[in-house]
Amino acid sequence: MKRLFLLFFPLLLLSCNSSAQDSKKAKIYPVSKSETEWKAALSPADFQVLRKKGTERAYSSKLNRVDQPGTFVCAACGNELYRTGNKFESGTGWPSFDRPIDEANVDYKPDGYAALEVLCANCGGHLGHRFNDGPRNTTGKRHCINGVALDFIPADAE
């Protein structure tokens, strides 16, 4: 009997694990495309960050230097994400914000680090990470966002 248990126990674990994974369905975002469609719509750098969860090289984004009034939108779908008024210099080499325009515009996912992954709530694109080391005089949060995941719309063009 003990041999039978040892023989079938791994199968029991697999079937339990499989049903648990089945219950975790991937979120369906309002803007959904196939990988081929995303590749056609995005530059290779945008695709690597937004769809494959890559990270651009620190200090490489021209958006680090943007301080004029305006809105930072998702480069994949145009969802309004951050305002210049919430941008700050974190010294990390990536555009940093203390909060999004609206919490409903972003999703957060545990990422196995001391941070949460930040995703566009409209298309599921990977934006960057949120840390708890932001400005203490505001939210205390730092949204460390890949510049290639964003487009900037100056306030006078909105």
pTM here?
0.82
Please indicate whether residue 77 is annotated as part of the active site: no
Q: Among the options 74, 120, 123, 144, which is catalytic?
A: 144
Each residue's pLDDT tens digit, 27-76:
889 999 999 999 999 999 999 999 999 999 999 999 999 999 999 999 99
pLDDT of residue 113: 75
Max CA pair span of the chain: 77
Each residue's pLDDT tens digit, 90-130:
999 999 999 999 999 999 999 877 799 999 999 999 999 99
User: Please, what are the domains in the chain?
Assistant: 33-157 (2.170.150.20)
Q: Which of 27, 23, 11 is nearest to 123 (CA)?
A: 27
